[in-house]
Chain A
Amino acid sequence: MRPLMLLVLCSALAVVSAPRVLAQDKPMIEEVKARGILRAGVKNDAPHLGFVDEKGNLVGFEIDLITDIAKRLGVKLELEPVKASNRVQLLQQKRVDLLIATVSHYRSRDRVVDFTIPYLYTPQTLLVKKASGITSLADLAGKRVGVDAGAGAVKKIPEAQPKATVQTFQGWPEAFFALQRGTVDAVATDNILLAGLRVAAPKPDDYVLLKEGSFYSGGYYAVALRENDSKSRDELNFLLQDQWKDGTWQRAFDKWLGKDSALKMTLADFDNFKMLVWDE
């Protein structure tokens, strides 16, 4: 190899592999209080959790929780819509202070960012036609299940029920349309998405969500923070618990997912979620 090429390659390699020297950071929560603004990474395309309503406002269950947290901290709130593909990068580059954006707490992710206690458990389940008689994962043997081409269900359904056939679709509306036409027997994803599809159907009562015991997977949604910032994590944990104790959490739940919402879901639909609450 010519020396010049070697030089170019080596310098490229050096740039890529150079270790970053990180200054000891102030806890995020102190920076936020000093700045007077909390910048939260949120979803703008997750129905009922973080989405844009008819008036163009960013609203939802997660938005209500974080708005209340900002109020308790006494700071202004700035919402930054994030995508699954850029949310961690935005957090690590300090463009946002935290993520409350349907991030499930996994061990593998915990090696990259830190998480608070979960604020919701979201089971992944199946939407079927009531007349089909499917009531459990076992009934899915030999049936067709529709999923989104990019979703985790592509891998998880064959693990939960190897005898089911997975058909992928461009998006959830297409998968649900296939269920209506009968080309698939079930649609698999997060229960909130499924409840939303069901409510939007011409005859919602023709469809049912499989209940507890037939969840094929699920995730604990938690607020994601940068690594090694236990002061901020403590403070957010306490605030989340305060929200649970004084009913703020329940109000947000009722408004967006529960009895006051179109979805009319109950805590049983969320595997009887109960927040961890620590004594004083």
Chain B
Amino acid sequence: MHLDWAILWGNPGLLILQGLLVTLQLSAWTLLLAFLIGLLVGVVRWLGFRVAEPFCWLYVEVARNTPPVVQILFWYFSASYLMPGWLFIGLRDVGYEFGAAVVALAIYHGAFIAEVVRAGLNSVPGSQFDAARALGLRFRQSLLRILAPQAVRIALPPFVNEATSIVKNTSLAMAIGVTELTYQYKHIDSFLFRGVEALAAVTVIYLMLCLVIAGLGHLLSKRLSKHVARRDPPLALTSE
């Protein structure tokens, strides 16, 4: 096989960069929306509101247990059953691909983030909340100043996991013709016959994106745990 890496500096490289831009936008919007959904649903489930909780449970189970690519296809091709026909047609006229991918991926990952949020809140002993209330802090204060800082520290690593998984799953949006990275790879492969080179470049780009996110998460996690480390020195130092 003749591999020609120089083509990546030409037209195929430009296509890949265009794809990268779309992947970044897709990831950012999805992360934002999924975070909002996850926060809302996670808190509601943790509080256990009798009216809302069953709906949130249903949402989490349905969204987590169906393949993300099926959800993307649903929101792009079949959602006409959920919304009025004119709205569906109108949306598809203005290039609904991107929006459908964001909605589908946000719903899918929102469910996982909801569980991350709930697990984070659950991991703080309930007695702390009671103690805060007994000391005279209001509900909001106990939640935001006592519970949240501890929960965030615990929920951060799994949340970073979700963020990298969002970046990876944006590649599924090619199924409905969103021109993100993987779509551009496929385009380069089928029209220019340079699939191997393009796939290698695309793989490296995904790898770098995810490593950067993981690295940022690690830094943030270290920062949030600074005071913990000070109060609780590692075993190696105390064993002397």
Contact = CB atoms under 8 A, between A and B. Distances in A.
Interface string B53-79: 000000000000000000001000100
A108 to B, nearest CB: 4
B139 interface: no
A93 B1 contact: yes
A152 B196 CA distance: 20
A183 B1 contact: no
A18 to B, nearest CB: 10
B232 interface: no
B177 A113 contact: no
B191 A152 contact: yes
A85 B77 contact: no
Nearest to A94: B1
Contacts of A16: 200
Contact of A168 (B1, B97, B189): B97
Contact of B190 (A84, A154, A174, A183): A84
A227 B2 contact: yes
A149 B69 CA distance: 14
B194 interface: yes
Contact of B89 (A17, A183, A227): A183
Given A20-B1, A93-B1, A167-B93, A149 B190 contact: no
A88 B195 contact: yes
A84 B194 CA distance: 12
A17 B5 contact: yes
B18 to A, nearest CB: 12
Interface in B76-92: 77, 89, 92
A226 to B, nearest CB: 9
A104 to B, nearest CB: 9
A144 interface: yes
Q: How large is the interface on B (under 10, 10 to 19, 20 to 34, 35 or more residues)?
A: 20 to 34
Contacts of B92: 167-168
A66 to B, nearest CB: 21
Contact of B189 (A22, A85, A111, A152): A85
Contacts of B174: 150
Per DSSP, are chain B's interface residues mostly helix, strand or loop, or mixed? Answer: helix
Nearest to B10: A108
Interface string A154-174: 100000000001011110001
A109 B188 CA distance: 10
Nearest to A228: B2
B177 A89 contact: no
Given A92-B1, A144-B93, A149 B175 contact: yes
A109 B12 CA distance: 12
A150 B192 contact: no
Contacts of B175: 149
A112 interface: yes
Nearest to A148: B177
A238 to B, nearest CB: 25
A190 to B, nearest CB: 14
Interface in B182-240: 186, 189-196, 200
B28 interface: no
B176 interface: yes
A168 B4 CA distance: 33
A150 B182 CA distance: 12
Residue of B2, B73, B176, B192 most packed against chain A (CB within 10 A): B2
A197 to B, nearest CB: 18
A164 to B, nearest CB: 11
Nearest to A108: B192
B2 to A, nearest CB: 7
15 contacts: A17-B5, A20-B2, A84-B190, A89-B195, A89-B196, A108-B11, A109-B192, A112-B2, A112-B192, A112-B194, A113-B193, A154-B177, A168-B97, A170-B73, A170-B77
Interface of B: 1-5, 11, 73, 77, 89, 92-93, 97, 174-177, 186, 189-196, 200
The 10 A-B residue pairs with the shortest CB-CB distance, nearest first, are A149-B177, A112-B193, A108-B192, A88-B193, A92-B1, A168-B177, A84-B190, A109-B193, A165-B93, A167-B92
